[in-house]
Structure 1
Amino acid sequence: MKARLSCVVLGALLALPATAKEGDTFQPFVSYARYYDSNLYRLAESEKNLVPQLSDQYGVLSAGLNVDWQPGRQRVIASASKSLVRFSHYSNLDYDGSDYRLNWNWRLGNRWSGQVGATESTTQSSLSDQLGLPVNNTVTRENRFANADWQFHPRWHAGLGAAAATSTNSTAQQATLDYEDTSVSATLGYTTPKGSKLRVQLRQVDGEYPHRPVIYLDRFYTQTEYNLLGDWSLTGKLTAHGRIGYTRRENDTQSQRDFSGVTGRLSADYFPTGKTMLTWAAYREIANSDDLNASYQLNTGTSLGAAWLLTSRVTLRASGSFENRSFEGDTGVVIPGLVQRDEDTLSGSLSLSYAPIRMVTIDLGVQAGRRDSNVAVNDYTFRSVFVSVRADF
């Protein structure tokens, strides 16, 4: 599947004219970033003797191209990139990553529109939950989607959508985290006289963990969502987006592993001046669990970001985030001393971006974070520094 999607994306990109027309975009890029991380494996103080060295440096060399092509009323957005990640000390963690995306925003007449697309990415799984184990695991995520929207009235429209997603781990140790799901959705929307949009949505997801041992966890689940979605332009400087709803998740055998409750996400972008921007988000969402001692995890958090255009060439950025991850769903297996995790993660970053010429951007920044868990070995703190250079041709 990976080879097929990469060929489709690259073929679509190479089939485009060598010289783009006005309004089209055909933009190759190359970048290199260098990182220093003080606690690469995200180990607790009591676990630091598990590895010979806590810190490491690594480089990320990336190259690819982006396309935004508009033939008539259609629009094709595509990208393809490859990344080589190489570590100075822990060379066993070296890997090659990739990211492919293809999206066709189609229109038919004045009433029909929609999207057809696919994405595929390969990246290294998080090292924060491996407790220092020297496992170089990559995760390949694939997504295929299609939707159609019918505007049957100047202010009303209805839509249908379908998608299929997979997540596949490269090592046998992490194969139990593989999952597959298919989803369908129906939406009814209304556009206000001022341009804000409100939609009600019914969505159902059928999922499977194909490699999980049944003795510990259900392998199949059905998730039903009843959502209210909105996009608002509150003023010329403030826009907001929201999704709030009720989610019910049912497993195939054990009802004590089910979930039902309110979920949602709110976000806002505020432009107080022509040179500053603030972004904020808050969420409560259910996600597939990466722990065999839980059927699912409930993520609740918030984030805040800011950008300040100091000069025409220099931009200062800052961000901070907080997230609570609650691992839930009774597995039905009692193991003395083993509890379900509940942990808080706090992180922040500060960076400076400099564009000496139009096609080149240089970034320099620092990051820091910590996690506090009810399972002591999952606590950690870290600090990192990075510098990157990117050229867009």
Structure 2
Amino acid sequence: MPFYHPVLRLSQGDMANISAQRRPLSDGEGQQQAGFVQGLLGVTSPLFLIGLCLSTPAQAQLNSDVLRPSIGLTASVDSNVLGLSSPEAALAATGTRSLSDSAWTAFAGVDYRQLFGRQLITANVANSRTKFNRLSRLDYRGENANADWAWQLGNNWNGNAGYFRTVTLAPFTDFHVLDSNTNTMSRRYLSAAWRIHPDWQLHGEATRYAVDYSLPVQRQYDRSENQGGVGLDYTTRSGNSVGVQWRLLIGHLPHQLLGVDRLANDYRQQQIELKSDWQVSGKSHLKFAGSLVERRHEVYPERNFRGYNGRMTLTVAATGSTLITVATWRETGIFDELSTVYSTNRGSQLGARWNATSKITVEGTLRRESRDFTRSVQFSTAPDYRDVLRTSQLSVKYVPLARLNFELLVFDSGKGNSSGLGEYARHGASLSSRYQF
């Protein structure tokens, strides 16, 4: 898929969850906690992980189970690339009344996988180039690099340590700039789990997350977050589990200085969460997470938030070849992943996957989410500002050979809001191919 499109699935899929749930915090011990998290994350520096990968034995060769290069090509068309409301808005932004464009994306990468005893090391490096037919100012080079160490110590200790970095074109959901505004997202993480009893497990994690934008006018949205948490899970003999966890997050926006004292626009968030992962029957699986959330800001405390978040996902194997997923949620979200302007998001999603044959898979998704910015200081002039995002897409994946696949995807999406400003509709399609050596 072209990396520029916010609707299409990215090859770095789990990046969408990096900070999907922003948890609030307290004031006094913030700096102490941040220092502790950063010190802990020093163990997982990129150089450390790269060194692990380079230590591969001599048998790690191309076209093996250890190193697997791949190449791919995607052609796409979008009826409204920038997410503009009208041809008049397009004329002001691009000099023409046309909203649509097509693009080509080519990529090459290599996957690494090696087992050292009970320690599993995986890594991936990829580069892409996207060129637009008409809006050439959006052309950009994408990058992706990640490494993960799935570690095991004895029979009772395990976890992950890793690093992730990706460069993509910023989405046009809320910001509509005709320029190659790329964002660089990075994540360092360390997690550990200790099985204190056959049925009970303690776990903890620490993460350092950062996002930076290439355009000088958007540097104010550069952000870093230190995240940490601890929890306790109970697992039944059948594999079902319930648990409780506490999480905290400390956010820092170095280029947003607010108030008379020009303080950084920092925030802290903490939450207590109950979660369960339950196999209801042989064909249905239910996951639930509900939490009390508190979010505090260093400047403009009227933005502070205290409430609850929740998400429920039900997966049903309707037949041997058909899987249906239903999800609903109420969560505190961040405005386009850019700033401390937050919203209360309520949404639902329906998805289905059908394995038509051993070589053809069909997937469809319907998604609707409403965002309420009522408490946001940014929208104080429109205190009732709300919007609705909708997306529907259908894809067909064909795997004629074990190492070759093709995927056709069509989508329709749009945004509406309470003011009528900034609304848009868009639709398009892409055809992708990938070959792994």
What is aligned with 1:308? 354
Match of 1:255 among 294, 297, 301: 301
Change (3 A) 1:334 1:239: closer
CA distance in 1, matches of 2:45, 2:126: 12
Query: Is 1:175–2:219 an aligned residue pair?
Result: yes
Q: Secondary structure of 1:312's partner?
A: coil
One-letter amino acid of the structure 2 residue matched with residue 227 of structure 1: E
Compute the displacement of 1:58 (Å). 0.5
What is aligned with 2:365? 319
What is aligned with 1:27? 68
What is aligned with 1:184? 228
What is aligned with 1:89? 134
Return 5+ residue gaps in structure 1 as ranges.
none
Change (3 A) 1:213 1:272: same
CA distance in 2, matches of 1:252, 1:19: 54
Query: Is 1:148–2:189 an aligned residue pair?
Result: no
Q: Secondary structure of 1:256's partner?
A: helix
Whether contact under 8 Å (1:177, 1:290) holds in the other structure is no
Match of 2:83 among 14, 37, 42: 42
Whether contact under 8 Å (2:223, 2:338) holds in the other structure is no
Q: Secondary structure of 1:235's partner?
A: coil
1:114-133 superposed matches below 5 A: 114-131=159-176, 133=177
One-letter amino acid of the structure 1 residue matched with residue 303 of structure 2: R
Change (3 A) 1:333 1:304: closer
1:276-355 superposed matches below 5 A: 276-290=322-336, 295-331=341-377, 338=382, 341-355=385-399
Q: Secondary structure of 2:106's partner?
A: strand
CA distance in 2, matches of 1:372, 1:169: 26
Deviations 1:335-371 (A, max 9, x none): 5xx5564110111111222222221111122111121
TM-score (norm 1): 0.90
Change (3 A) 1:273 1:121: same
Change (3 A) 1:351 1:184: closer
Compute the displacement of 1:311 (Å). 1.8
Q: Secondary structure of 1:236's partner?
A: coil
Q: Secondary structure of 1:344's partner?
A: strand
Paired residues, number: 386
Query: Is 1:63–2:103 an aligned residue pair?
Result: no
Whether contact under 8 Å (2:342, 2:376) holds in the other structure is no
TM-score (norm 2): 0.81
What is aligned with 1:210? 254
CA distance in 2, matches of 1:126, 1:387: 20
Return 5+ residue gaps in structure 2 as ranges.
1-43
Greater alpha carbon shift after TM alignment, 287-296 vs 302-311 = 287-296
CA distance in 1, matches of 2:182, 2:339: 22
CA distance in 1, matches of 2:192, 2:229: 11
CA distance in 1, matches of 2:53, 2:311: 34
RMSD of aligned Cα (Å):
2.7
Compute the displacement of 1:161 (Å). 1.7
The structure that is strand-richer by fraction is 1
User: Which structure is higher in RCO with an 8 Å CA cutoff and minimum separation 6?
Assistant: 2
Change (3 A) 1:329 1:212: farther
1:225-240 superposed matches below 5 A: 225-240=271-286
CA distance in 2, matches of 1:340, 1:219: 23
Deviations 1:85-134 (A, max 9, x none): 11110111011111222111111111111111111111111123234x32
Query: Is 1:193–2:234 an aligned residue pair?
Result: no
